[in-house]
Structure 1
Amino acid sequence: MLVVAIVFFILLLLNMPVAFAIGIGSLMYFLIGSDLPIEITTQRMVAGTQSFPLLAVPFFILAGNLMNASGITERLIRFSNALTGHLKGSLAHVSIVLSTVMGGVSGSANADAAMQSRILGHQMIARGYSGGYSASVIAISSLITATIPPSIGLILYGYVGQVSIGKLFLAGIIPGFLMMTCLMVISYVIARKRNYDSNIVQKRATFKEIMITLKESIWALMFPVILVVGIRFGIFTASEAGAFAVVYALIVGFFIYKELNWKNFKEALSQSVTDNASILLIISVSSILGFLITYDRLPQNAADFLIGITTNEHLMIILILLFLVIAGMFIESTVLVLLLTPIFLPIVQQVGVDPVHFGILMMTIVTFGGMTPPVGVTMYTTTSIMKVPLEDYIKESIPFILGVFALVLLLTFVPSIVMFLPDLFM
């Protein structure tokens, strides 16, 4: 496995796409000193994608792209503005609330950050907000999509770890709203200190105005609610929920909002094919590495090593999360979920940690890696679209990063926050 790791990191440093880095690294195991037949690689690649629960991923990606092409974004911006437009740093709060409600539509942090960078990013800078502050708010608030259902990451975690996706969806709701509150408080403090929006007087929206924008957005806001309720009461499985989501998005786009035309439909379909191809390629080559990890008894060896250090569940989680923070700075979150869930999940279960609780913590941390240097995809997406210098982003993101870490520590030591809804309804 050492050869695999060395080849993998060398290829990453050479900027090779991560799927090929994993695949070539895994192939080296078979070519150098292994008695295993090389045919296992193709068998595992095919078997890795032959899973009914995995169907949820392409369905939800397509549904998210269809919903984004259906005119929901403008409606959700108006709703978010009605709720928070009167606060200091109003556009920052709109971005954070929008990430929360868009998380229930797109399920992808990078997609959310890219969309907001184009729509809100330049508006924030034009209104006098610093580029670093604007980019930090948009990038780090997209982290909320890691927990708000239907998070693609939670679906993959549930698939790999054989954990109830319905419970994971329920468990992510309270942490998602807590993160929204935490980031809004930090944004408000900074905006007030710098006197942002001092020349703009925006009165608080009346209850009637909020209700009007709520009515306009209701079909988008109902989307995650229907999914969670449907899965909880056994109306459909997570995979069937994905298929339902596509039909729901088509009905909303074509017949209710009437903004989804054939041109937008084809663009959404094309984008979904690209997104799914990259994710499923990573999943298929990760299946080879997953087989090798199990074959070399890496989970058992890692468990013995970590339990030799401590059997305290909180300390164990913190050690694993610290490792995930560092790994997330270099490797994309989807890859980490597929590779590390089989290693770490048995360890935390052995010390008494609920797999649902650990799933929320893990997804938050590995997704957060996309917002941090040196190779955070979401960070680069946001700063490149908004043309913000990377050093400005890094400096301005520090308060938000500290806020996220504080929230993760709270969720670690008070697991009842995460488990309240799953325990209540399931």
Structure 2
Amino acid sequence: MTPDVWMILAFAGLLIAGVPVAFSLALSGAVGIVLGLSPDMLATLGTNTYNSIAKYPLIAIPLFILTGLIFERAGVALRLVRFAQALIGPRHGGLALVAVLVCMIMGGMSGSGPADAAAVAMVMLPSMTKAGYPKPFSATLIAASASTAILIPPSVALILYSIVVPGVDLRALFAAGLFPGVLAGLALLVPAMLVAKRYGWEGTPVEGTEKLTVRGTFREALPALFAPVLILGGLRSGLFTPTEAAVVAVAYGAVVGLFLTRELTLRDVWELLGEAAIISGVVMLIIALAGIFAWSGTMLGTFRHLAEWIISLTDNGVLLLILVMLAVLVAGMLLDAISIYLIMMPILIPVMQHFEWNPVWFGILLAMNIAIGQFTPPVAVNLMVTTEVAKIRLEHTIGWALLFVVAMGCALALVAIFPSIALWLPTVLGYNV
């Protein structure tokens, strides 16, 4: 067997053995270097890991992670829920609609599905349970809705995609993700409302919400609603870059928590800085060690060989796109978004270029696929968060998860068939697509 085959087999074997993704990438990359190049080339490990993370746009990732943590601690989710409840009122499926809307708005602040799922689940699950919603349904709906955070800007995954794929404008990606993200939320809402009506869940006002008024709750939720406007407006006006937008988001979240909601203290800020550093450290470790795998695969020609093999499967671009989407969906069930981008994009970039797929549109399709994987067992990171909050087992949610997978799959199919759903807004805004 050739060295690049040994490298791929080593990576697969390490994953099956339970070795963390970051170290599986590094060790298999080292195997490729030793067998295919020279043991002396192991001296490049330090340089490759540094070069992988020494990129200015990556600064946005830890900052948006910190933004999500700050807004979660500042009580923003609770205020958004109250406003949505007052706006929608008592009706069958009303709380399901509230959960989807709040997840989408929170996604426009954090850019992280798990953080979004945790914040909304802690607020929504008690109310939905009192209203008669089964916990498995509620936990799955929130997990699925929180996955739209990977599409609705600012998205940590789209930031990484813009770095991995050369020549892609992050502002165009952010704009392109907006309508597909809304479409995905609506796709989840349709079966949720139908199921709620079918079983008669929640036809009377939820206890404690009778006195909520739209005007009063809107005033409380206004600082939270303004956050996405500030971020996207600043990007559109050219006032700041995406990386600078992350700094602005952190500062704005701190002001909201410390002085407006007053649920955040300086001690909380210090704790959140440490928590964000831990999460960011894990993300950056994966990116850094993936640099070894990427360099080894490039030098050995592994990615080129795999891309050529994929292209040789069929000349039909539509059929190959379907196969790629299915492969990414399976990967999304097992790996996180960052790992998928780092592992698969070196292989998929030549395929994308061969069939002349629009890189912005293709990036949104990948993000939608990965979003589905975030609430699809066996490794469903969003679902793990919400089931932990609900105190139920993951197996209890599988039936509901499949329902929402089909729903979001329909949204994915629409974006694949009609690329203008993703590309219309960035084109109108004048971004390079």
TM bucket (normalised to shorter chain) is over 0.9
Question: Displacement, 1:33?
Answer: 4.8
1:132–1:397 contact (8 Å) kept in structure 2: no
Please list the CA deviations of residues 349-386 of structure 1 after superposition, one character each: whole Å capped at 9, or x if unmatched. 33222111111110121232121122222222222331
**Which residue in 2 is equivalent to 1:56?**
60
Name segments (4+ residues, structure 1) moved above 6 Å.
Answer: 201-206
Question: Displacement, 1:143?
Answer: 1.2
Please list the CA deviations of residues 386-420 of structure 1 after superposition, one character each: whole Å capped at 9, or x if unmatched. 12233320012222110011110110010001111
Distance 1:13 1:299, change over 3 A: closer
1:87–1:188 contact (8 Å) kept in structure 2: no
Question: Displacement, 1:309?
Answer: 3.1
Question: Mapping of 1:307-386 within 5 angstroms?
Answer: 307-386=311-390
2:20 is the alignment partner of 1:17: yes
**Which residue in 1 is equivalent to 2:310?**
306
2:220 is the alignment partner of 1:183: no
**Which residue in 2 is equivalent to 1:168?**
173
**Which residue in 2 is equivalent to 1:159?**
163
2:272 is the alignment partner of 1:268: yes
Identity %: 32
Give 2:180's aligned amino acid: P
2:146 is the alignment partner of 1:138: no
Separation in 2, partners of 1:314, 1:228 = 33
Gapped regions of structure 2 (runs ≥ 5) = none
Please list the CA deviations of residues 218-255 of structure 1 after superposition, one character each: whole Å capped at 9, or x if unmatched. 22222222222222332211111112222222222223
Q: Secondary structure at the match of 2:110?
A: coil
Question: Displacement, 1:260?
Answer: 1.9
Question: Displacement, 1:199?
Answer: 5.3
**Which residue in 2 is equivalent to 1:390?**
394
Gapped regions of structure 1 (runs ≥ 5) = none
Q: Secondary structure at the match of 2:109?
A: coil
**Which residue in 2 is equivalent to 1:411?**
415
Q: Secondary structure at the match of 1:105?
A: helix
1:314–1:412 contact (8 Å) kept in structure 2: no
1:317–1:412 contact (8 Å) kept in structure 2: no
Structure 2 residue corresponding to 1:5, chosen from 1, 5, 8: 8
243-252 vs 303-312, greater mean Cα deviation: 303-312
Structure 1 residue corresponding to 2:50, chosen from 46, 51, 55: 46
Give 1:12's aligned amino acid: L
Separation in 1, partners of 2:128, 2:115 = 19
Question: Displacement, 1:204?
Answer: 11
- Across the two proteins, how many residue pairs are aligned to each other? 425
Distance 1:25 1:306, change over 3 A: closer
42-51 vs 214-223, greater mean Cα deviation: 214-223
Separation in 2, partners of 1:354, 1:201 = 46
Structure 2 residue corresponding to 1:219, chosen from 212, 220, 223: 223
2:201 is the alignment partner of 1:196: yes
Question: Displacement, 1:24?
Answer: 2.1
344-353 vs 413-422, greater mean Cα deviation: 344-353
2:82–2:217 contact (8 Å) kept in structure 1: yes
Give 1:171's aligned amino acid: A
Separation in 1, partners of 2:361, 2:334 = 24
Give 1:388's aligned amino acid: I
Distance 1:255 1:203, change over 3 A: closer
Give 1:195's aligned amino acid: G
